Amino acid sequence: MSKKMLGDIMRQAQKMQEDMQKMQEEARTKTVEASAGGGMVTIIANGGGEIVSIKIEKDVVNPDDVDMLQDLILAAANEALRRAQQIVNEDMSKLTMGMQIPGLGGLGNMFK
């Protein structure tokens, strides 16, 4: 392999790394919303894998049934994070043009 080819590959790799960093920063500005219990619990997450908002309707707060509230929060949080992962994976696919590149696992790497 010539030095020119190697240099071109290195520049392409550096550009892809810069594009990935930019994509990760942009992902943190994208939000998704999920709810459980017919909207009794609503959670907003961002593409950085963070829960940014939790809304709980007063009607669902029952001191005698804390387990149900915990289940609703858990269900909404998991769905919000799943949706956030989906938007990041879609963006990652655009960046890599659909290629599966080892080590560029998308959201899995962003959440660690």
Taking residues 78-106, what's their average pLDDT?
77
For residue 71, what are the contacts with CB-CB under 8 A and spacing of at least 6?
Answer: 36
Return the DSSP state at 30: -
CA gap 29, 23 in Å, rounded: 10
Question: Does the pLDDT of residue 103 top 80, yes or no?
Answer: no
Domain ranges of the chain: 28-110
Residue with tokens 């696919």: 93
At the top level of CATH, the class of 28-110 is: alpha beta
Residues 59-79 have pLDDT tens digits of 999 999 999 999 999 999 999
pTM, to two decimals: 0.72
Q: pLDDT band for position 111 (50/70/90)?
A: very low
Rg of the chain taking only CA atoms, in angstroms? 19
